[in-house]
Every structure is written in C-alpha cells, then in structure tokens.
Structure 1
Amino acid sequence: MISTTTFYSSSNGDRWQMLHDDETGLYQVRHEPNAASGGRATDTLMPEFLSRSGATPQGLALQKLLEEQGAIDPDLED
C-alpha cells in the first residue's frame, strides 16, 4: 500500500506529495503540475528531491513535514 501526504500547493495550482510505499519502505515526492503546464505528474526519490529543491518553498515544506513526523531520515530511504 502507498500512503500519500500533500505537503505543498503553489498559488499556480502545482501540488507536491510525499509518497511512502509500506511494502518497500521507499519514500518519493510526486509533483503534479497544473493543467496549463501539462498536468503530467513526476515522481522523484526523496533524497534527490531534497538535494535539488531544499531551499524552494516546496523543499522547505517537505523539510518541515519531516521534522514534524520525526520518524524518518530521508537520506536513508533510497
């Protein structure tokens, strides 16, 4: 089973979600762009997302979520 948590929505309609695969333990980030941008979702492994997007609003929102949960270390979930 895959659990999904939306952690950021931008003013232009883009949305970012944290995905967790309960069977494999894998964490990913899904970006769902708005319809005007094509609307095609992409998934990125969490460590890669944080290394590319750490200082962006969506990166900071994910970091805050991870701190609040306190249960996972994204660098260990490849």
Structure 2
Amino acid sequence: MDMRTRELYRSSNGDEWFLATEAGSERVHVLHRANISSGGRESRIGIGDFLGRGASGPEHQELLRLIATLV
C-alpha cells in the first residue's frame, strides 16, 4: 500500500513520528515508528487521539507547529 508521509520528529533514541496518509485516502494520521531496540514496530494514531495524549512532547509540539503553518 502506498503511503505519503511527512516527518514530524525524530527523537535522539531513534523513534520517528510522521504525518501520514494512504494513497487515495483523505484520512490523515500520525505514524510512529519505534526504534530498533524497542522492536521497530509501527503504529498509526488518529490526530485527535495523538494530541489528546498530552501535547507536551516535542513530537506533539511539531505537529501543532505544522498545523499552525496552514492558517
């Protein structure tokens, strides 16, 4: 499946967060890729759920900064 992504944040431990959407879909989500030592798993999180988890982390702040550039 083709997915378009834009990197939001990469932590010093290797975790990565992306704003992502699948080709042909208008649904946007946050894609989290855990670092290799944590298993390297990917998880998809709805934007509302992601921000609802406490928008104090740098990955949350970067998403909010990106959203602010749109207005």
TM exceeding 0.5: yes
State the number of aligned residues.
Answer: 70
Greater helix share, 1 or 2? Answer: 1
Residue segments in structure 2 that go unaligned for 5+ positions in a row: none
Rounded Cα–Cα distance in structure 2 between residues aligned with 1:10 and 1:20: 21
Q: Which runs of 4+ in 1 moved over 6 A?
A: none
- Of all paired residues, the percent bearing the same amino acid is 30
Counterparts of 2:20 and 2:9 in 1: how far apart (Å)? 13
**TM-score normalised according to structure 2 size:** 0.86
Q: Secondary structure at the match of 1:39?
A: coil
Tell me the C-alpha RMSD between the 2 structures: 1.6
Q: Could you tell which deviates more after superposition, 10-19 or 50-59?
A: 50-59
Where structure 1 has 5 or more consecutive residues not aligned to the other structure, the ranges are 72-78
Higher strand proportion: 2
